[in-house]
Amino acid sequence: MMASAPFLPIVSDAIAAQRLSPSALAYFGDAVYELFIRFIFLTPPQRINAYHHQVVAHVRAESQARYMDILWPHCTAAELTIFRQGRNAAADGPKRVPAKIYRQATGFEALLGYLYLTDPQRLQDVLALLEQHIRAEVAAAESL
């Protein structure tokens, strides 16, 4: 489980999150989230193609929007403000995804980017909650 060994590097004070646009936070948060998902599915060893399909299934906008629904009740007022700013800054996104879902996913990414830059411990807590949910989803799917 992630709580035992953080996977994120130590953050420098070089970037002030408050000076970044919500779109920039989402851009950065997307990378943080993908690294987190890759970390989760790194074990057990498997073929790269299978690994890739698992990761892609969880970094899709639809999954990110669903995970924000899970996080919503656990977020502080300030975190929800960052989410809303990211959501409202989002463009319509790709045609395969409804605009509402894409915007929610962008808000999710903005929140993760913001937490990475401002409160790495809180980010670890949020990601641990997501990891529990994702592992439970995977286990349920495998038992079918």
| Collapsed DSSP state (helix, strand, coil) of residue 45 | coil
Spatial distance between the Cα atoms of 69 and 126, rounded to a whole number of angstroms: 13
28, containing H or E segment: helix 22-40
Whether 49 contacts 27, CB under 8 Å: no
DSSP state of 6: -
By annotation, the residues acting in catalysis are 30
33, containing H or E segment: helix 22-40
Q: Of the candidates 67, 66, 34, which has an alpha carbon nearest to the alpha carbon of residue 51?
A: 34
